[in-house]
Amino acid sequence: MGDMYERNQTTVSEFLLLGLSEDLEQQQLLFVLFLGMYLVTMVGNLLIILAISLDSCLHTPMYIFLANLSLADISSISTSVPKMLANIQTKSQSISFGACVTQMYFSIVFVVIDNFLLGVMAYDRFMAICYPLSYVTVMRPRLCTLLMATSWVLSNLVALTHTLLLAQLTFCNANTIPHFFCDLAPLLHLSCSNTVINQLVMFILGSSVIAVPFGLIFFSYICIVFTVLKISSAEGKWKAFSTCGSHLSVVTLFYGTIIGVYFLPSSAQSVNNEKIGAVLFTVVTPMMNPFIYSLRNKDIKGALKKLIDKKIFSM
């Protein structure tokens, strides 16, 4: 009896990440695809951060939040993709227990911070359009710093909660994760302990982290739309609304993905949906964000152009 107990309790020291495909040819294709997406994301978001920090005209709340979003995007994709690429290249599937938990921690932090940042950015647009006269006095640098700091602290607290709860679990013999990084849900499936509390906390924290910013965004845009409708000239309407364009595009992309992956009925199994969702959130959204801004935003395009001109002339 004692012997069996010990054998069942052999704790797992490493996990195996099965990745997105076990087929070797497909793996090479995925390698090229994900390497490309990784490089595009890094270059795109770094350019945005550079353009915003070097151009003093862009030192306004909206762009400071945007730079933070780019930072979160860079970090988000860097938690999962480099390890996945390395594993394909070395034909290994292993990830140590510590690395796995670290990956889970940071993947939670950056998805949560994306939600908070989108909420904060909606509040910023709401103040700018609905209360333009008090905007400058309300959105002072100190409030911006406070909002950003709160977002970073809260998202770390969410990740810490999940990690501490995960630390209570026992992992027996099963150590194969059918996923391309250590995401929370597949890790919970693996544990041989009772995970009811973990699932419950995942549900409660997950839905509040999505619902609260989404509610904020929703009500901000209702007020924004009503305010814009009251503007009499068509040109004025367009001018007011165009400052929301890039935020609205990212919000649509982000929540469209959530609805598409988790709420629309689909014939695929939920494991596949989980993987598709993870690819979209950790890879595709971070990659798309810079394009949405730089392609649609005159100020950022101008700042980038200045940046490039300056570099060329100084060489």
Ligand X SMILES: *[C@@H]1O[C@H](CO)[C@@H](O)[C@H](O)[C@H]1NC(C)=O
Residue 263 tokens read as: 């709420």
- Residue 125 Cβ, how far from ligand X at the closest point, in Å? 16
Q: Considering beta carbons, is residue 124 or 274 the nearer one to ligand X?
A: 124
Reduced to 3 states (helix: H, G, I; strand: E, B; else coil), residue 184 is helix
Q: How far apart are the first and last CA of the chain?
A: 75
- Residue 17 Cβ, how far from ligand X at the closest point, in Å? 30
- Residue 143 Cβ, how far from ligand X at the closest point, in Å? 9
DSSP 140: -
- Residue 68 Cβ, how far from ligand X at the closest point, in Å? 4
Q: Considering beta carbons, is residue 50 or 169 the nearer one to ligand X?
A: 50
- Residue 67 Cβ, how far from ligand X at the closest point, in Å? 3
> With helix as H, strand as E and coil as C, how does 3-44 read?
HHHHHHCCCCCEEEECCCCCCHHHHHHHHHHHHHHHHHHHHH
DSSP 94: E
Q: Considering beta carbons, is residue 53 or 273 the nearer one to ligand X?
A: 53
In angstroms, the CA 293 to CA 274 distance is 28
Q: Considering beta carbons, is residue 186 or 290 the nearer one to ligand X?
A: 290
In angstroms, the CA 242 to CA 296 distance is 9
Residue 213 tokens read as: 């910013």
- Phi and psi at residue 102, to the nearest 5°: -60, -45
Q: Considering beta carbons, is residue 50 or 276 the nearer one to ligand X?
A: 50
Residues in contact with ligand X by CB under 6 A are: 49, 53, 64, 67-68, 71, 144-145, 148
Give the residue at shortest CB distance from ligand X. 67
- Residue 235 Cβ, how far from ligand X at the closest point, in Å? 32
Query: What are the DSSP E strand ranges found in the chain?
Result: 14-17, 94-96, 176-177
Q: Considering beta carbons, is residue 144 or 187 the nearer one to ligand X?
A: 144
Q: How far is CA 146 from CA 60, 83, 89, 154, 220, in A?
A: 15, 33, 42, 12, 20
- What type of residue sits at position 111? V
Residue 22: which residues within 8 A CB-CB, separation 6 or more? none
- Residue 34 Cβ, how far from ligand X at the closest point, in Å? 24
Q: Considering beta carbons, is residue 49 or 122 the nearer one to ligand X?
A: 49
- Phi and psi at residue 216, to the nearest 5°: -60, -45
